Structure 1
């Protein structure tokens, strides 16, 4: 086991590994920190909160292009950002009966090889 950074990362919520980077989603000061596999902090992405309208990120995944898909608990939406942190689009939830409950109870976010989004 090793430390990823000299700075403390508080309340990490989710982590994803690629062939050359490690992404850590934090909820204390919501953002995604990106590290090399040697532990060097490369960048911090997505200054969330009021600017990006993400207040309670729960899970995220990466698509083949490196875009970041984040499931926001408060807005019950999935927000998509470029790997540089620019907002691309938002997938809103249609409030129809049990569907809204299903999304609010989701425990993860996965993009399949066929690029289907699964909660």
Structure 2
């Protein structure tokens, strides 16, 4: 049986609110939440807890996806990469400098693109643009 899960794209206006919405719909019933990490989002999609626990197949109905594509686009991604590059940051600066350079050259992924790529790696999840 296919489980339908709806994402309210209008509730997403930046990276932080993306995770708030993901936690709202996918972590309902759990006593903990995933942090703001693409790796954590990817791990969540493997199932085992939250709304995906015991689910074989998912239709992820993403309402107002174009709004999300915009708010998680170049500007948000640029700010995200620059934060990773700030002094004292524990992140791989070389990697994030390369990602920022590619983004500014028009060849890099936006944060939204990364989310869609992660979803595409999970064949049991079908994303529907609503």
Question: Is TM > 0.5 for Structure 1 vs Structure 2?
Answer: no
State the structure with more CA Rg: 2
Higher strand share: 1
Structure number with the bigger relative contact order (C-alpha 8 A, sep ≥ 6) is: 2
| TM-score, scaled relative to structure 2 | 0.27
| TM-score, scaled relative to structure 1 | 0.28
